[in-house]
Structure 1
Amino acid sequence: MIINVALLVSITGLLFTYPFDGYFRFTISVVVLATLLLYFKRLPIVRIAVLSGALVLLLRVVLKYPFIDDTLFSAFMHNLPSFGYYLSYGLLFKVLKIRDHTSSIPALILLLSLCDITSNCVELIIRWELTDRSLETILIPLVAVGVCRALLAVVGYYSLKRYRDFVLAEDYAARYAELILIIAKLRAELFYLKKSSADIELVMEKSYTLSQTLNKACPGELAQLDSPAPRALEIAREIHEVKKDYYRVTRGIEEILDVAVSDEGLPVSEFFQIVEQNTRRYISSLDKPITITFNYNGELITDKYYNIVSILNNLIINAIEAALPTGVITVTGQCRDGNLVLVVADNGPGIAPEETELIFAPGYSTKFSEVTGQMSTGLGLSHVKNLTEGLGGEIKLTSQQGKTVFTILLPLANL
């Protein structure tokens, strides 16, 4: 990093102008040097300034010497005072603690100007170019250039800072969107883990009750290890161990969600955009020319956004899978008649009338993997129905050849 900065400064130091007769020159390299020293606060100030000055001196001698009628030593001595400028600039930059004044633009401009003007004076003294000129003739261009270069350095610093903030904001937004989608999926999985835990608890109770019933029917049977009663009791114990594992998993996920989830509400329009971005990324990964449009109107803010994201994701994925090779999907949302109305429509082959009730049953599916032949779990629409009813809403389906529409009605009072 240090070498790269010094090289950049030294290369820009080759762009210069002569304000007076002699070897003294103004360059834009100091603007680059000041900007980078301000922005990269871990850069060693004096070391960067010394290395930059040394490289500027080397480049000027090497590039100019072949084209002048002079000795190498003379060319070196003519450019040596420029090294004094960079050394003086680095020392003043550190002594004045210019990095501590980045929050105040006027102070920053003043200190950078003072640093530049003083360093130019040091170089002029080394060159003995102050003896035969009036102070006014020298100071006016020095002050003007010093202030201009300070202004450019401040503009460069704040431009880099603003660009960094912009990049960080975009990265934060992307991570935030990803977090919402991940948590929505975790909540869906947690729902089924809790459902399975309840089922396991019921089976365990039935197995334990069976062992007690068998023992009552045949007193003393529990003492006989191979008889049905102790075997039923052993099954109940094993199921109890499985139940404890499920409990640990569900508690772990709940603790993660408690840490990650904020109780503050989120505008529906915001997480609608998150769902749209995620969906477009998913579609772009498929070899399927699908056109999808999103539209939301309303000012609703809700803390139930993970449930709504899960509902939309499941319906949209189903629509994508059902869409024709040139599928068209529309996703809309609006607040109307006391409800948040979500509509997902596609131009797929439609759903047969006899299947419209079955598709919401857990495990029912007509989809399977073309690679493995394995059937889909059939839990997506069942989960949508459970989430919708959990929010006090209802789900409607209308379907015919070439058009399927899912409509979700969620009472605003529950959101």
Structure 2
Amino acid sequence: MNWNQLWKKDISLLIILMVVVPIAGELNFHPFNDTFRVSFGTPLFFFLLLFLRRIPAAAAGILVGICVVLFRVCLDWVMQGSFHMTESFYLRYPVFFYYFIYGSLFSLCRVNKFHQKPIVIGCLGITIEIIASMSELAIYHMVVLGTTITVSELNKLIIIAIFRSFFALGFLNMMNLYETKLKESQVRKENEKMFMHLSNLYVESVHLKKTLQNAELITQEAYQLYRNLQANDDSSSKTALKIAGEVHEIKKDNQRIFAGLSKLLLDKNVAEYVEGHELTEMIVRINEKYAAMLGKDIRFSKHIEGEHAAYHVYTVLSIFNNLVANAVEAIEDRGLIHIKLYKREQHVIFEVIDDGPGITQKYKKLVFKPGFTSKYDQTGTPSTGIGLSYIDEMVTELGGEVRLEDNENGNGCKFIVCLPECSLKREGE
């Protein structure tokens, strides 16, 4: 927040102080059976002073003190049948010194420097409250009543000061807690977005790794073809050698891209392993937003059995989230998606069950084949069909299996992914 914004915020806050504190001051009681009052104006004044940054608290105390005196004199004029300006002002003006001294001591003690130390703020607030109240009461006794403060009154002041200061401090702590939770929520959303981007990069890196392996194999075969053609004194041998060289160049380019992706995945300051419960909740939240974005009314439910360790987040998201996203896309307008996570012996099992249109029996054996798709966009263009084939390939690579089964109620699909627990956990755990 820049300097101009701070000034605007402080001026707005000062206007609120000048308007609200006099009104809150009318919610009061009289501990000494006279015109000295204890009100909600004081804790509100203390609470709002904690947010001033540029305007000195002493200046705020003077302005608020003037407003309180004028407001109370105006109330006397409205409420009393026989109003005397001098008498009313004479009774009300001692409160000005309360707010003036309170604001001055607040500035002098630099209370706003201790926002991270609520106990210090509380103790300073009590001390300032006692001194300001004693000043007001002393002026009132000496000038208005012509008496002195008693020990009993002093004891009451201390008790009231403790109550009012910690009342305001409680509100401050509640606001700090709210801000902390708000920041935590924002960080969680940003992390979820980061996880999704990184898991997508992870998927691409797996595909790229496979491409590298294929390029290496093609290079070897092309070079072998060159040697065979050269042995037969075939003029095409040079073409075969050229192809081998070009494929080798493509492989090197891909290696550089793969190295960059790997570095990007490793350099991000995001935890690579997240507990199974949290991962499942994250997938639900992500796909709730995805369903809302598609304008679909989809309810999600989850069932997690047993305790789960921290699993590799990119692996789980790239497999599990892909299946849930497919279920969201498969449901036309509204439906239900149920997610299950449980363990059987040394395996972690994920289930995604939806009540969408499902897949016909003749296509069930083809769903994991590269290029197969039953999804088309609004223009009739088919999907790439690599999603489920990628999942099948990756699950197999991890030593697991993925199955498509009939849903128990006869509608929709039920995908089951079974993975060895060791393939998802950190090494050595």
TM-score by length of structure 2 reads 0.78
Q: 5+ residue gaps in structure 1?
A: 223-227
Q: Which of 272, 278, 285 in structure 1 is aligned with 2:280? A: 272
1:378 Cα offset (Å): 0.6
Q: Relative to 1, partners in 2 of residues 1:152 and 1:298: Cα closer, same or farther, differing over 3 Å? A: same
Does structure 1 residue 85 correspond to structure 2 residue 93?
A: no
The answer to whether the 8 A contact 2:56-2:107 is kept is no
Residue of structure 1 equivalent to 2:168 = 153
Residue of structure 1 equivalent to 2:373 = 365
1:15-414 map, 5 Å: 15-20=27-32, 23-38=35-50, 44-68=56-80, 69-70=82-83, 75-76=88-89, 78-99=91-112, 108-127=121-140, 128-129=143-144, 131-136=146-151, 138-196=153-211, 236=246, 240=249, 244=253, 249-260=257-268, 262=270, 265-323=273-331, 327-369=335-377, 371-399=378-406, 402-414=411-423
Q: Relative to 1, partners in 2 of residues 1:367 and 1:105: Cα closer, same or farther, differing over 3 Å? A: closer
Identical positions, percent: 26
Aligned partner of 1:379: which letter?
Answer: I
The answer to whether the 8 A contact 1:36-1:157 is kept is no
Q: Relative to 1, partners in 2 of residues 1:261 and 1:197: Cα closer, same or farther, differing over 3 Å? A: farther
Q: Relative to 1, partners in 2 of residues 1:381 and 1:229: Cα closer, same or farther, differing over 3 Å? A: closer
Separation in 1 of the partners of 2:224 and 2:93?
Answer: 98
What does the per-residue CA deviation read over 1:272-322, in whole Å, with 9 as the maximum and x for residues that have no partner?
111112222323344444444211112221342321122111112222333
Matched position secondary structure for 1:360: coil
1:77 Cα offset (Å): 5.5
Aligned partner of 1:172: which letter?
Answer: V
Separation in 1 of the partners of 2:317 and 2:240?
Answer: 48
Aligned partner of 1:117: which letter?
Answer: I
What does the per-residue CA deviation read over 1:375-405, in whole Å, with 9 as the maximum and x for residues that have no partner?
1011110121122123211112224863532
Matched position secondary structure for 2:93: helix
Separation in 1 of the partners of 2:187 and 2:43?
Answer: 31
Separation in 1 of the partners of 2:184 and 2:357?
Answer: 42
Aligned partner of 1:386: which letter?
Answer: E
Separation in 1 of the partners of 2:56 and 2:226?
Answer: 78
Q: Relative to 1, partners in 2 of residues 1:8 and 1:197: Cα closer, same or farther, differing over 3 Å? A: farther
The answer to whether the 8 A contact 1:366-1:375 is kept is yes
TM-score by length of structure 1 reads 0.80
Deviates more, 1:127-136 or 1:296-305: 127-136
Q: For the aligned residues, what is the CA RMSD? A: 3.9
Separation in 1 of the partners of 2:125 and 2:165?
Answer: 5
Q: Relative to 1, partners in 2 of residues 1:37 and 1:190: Cα closer, same or farther, differing over 3 Å? A: farther
The answer to whether the 8 A contact 2:223-2:240 is kept is no
What does the per-residue CA deviation read over 1:26-48, in whole Å, with 9 as the maximum and x for residues that have no partner?
22211112223346677743333
Separation in 1 of the partners of 2:25 and 2:250?
Answer: 74
Separation in 2 of the partners of 1:120 and 1:161?
Answer: 28
Separation in 2 of the partners of 1:129 and 1:340?
Answer: 81
1:340 Cα offset (Å): 0.6
Aligned partner of 1:384: which letter?
Answer: I
Q: Relative to 1, partners in 2 of residues 1:362 and 1:112: Cα closer, same or farther, differing over 3 Å? A: same
Separation in 1 of the partners of 2:124 and 2:168?
Answer: 12
The answer to whether the 8 A contact 1:333-1:343 is kept is yes
Separation in 2 of the partners of 1:381 and 1:229?
Answer: 35
The answer to whether the 8 A contact 1:324-1:347 is kept is no
Aligned partner of 1:256: which letter?
Answer: L
Matched position secondary structure for 1:299: coil
Q: Relative to 1, partners in 2 of residues 1:86 and 1:402: Cα closer, same or farther, differing over 3 Å? A: same
Q: 5+ residue gaps in structure 2?
A: 1-8, 425-429
1:410 Cα offset (Å): 0.6
What does the per-residue CA deviation read over 1:137-186, in whole Å, with 9 as the maximum and x for residues that have no partner?
53233223222212312322222222322333333333333332332222
Separation in 2 of the partners of 1:161 and 1:263?
Answer: 26
Q: Relative to 1, partners in 2 of residues 1:298 and 1:19: Cα closer, same or farther, differing over 3 Å? A: closer
Deviates more, 1:21-30 or 1:272-281: 21-30
Separation in 1 of the partners of 2:419 and 2:47?
Answer: 54
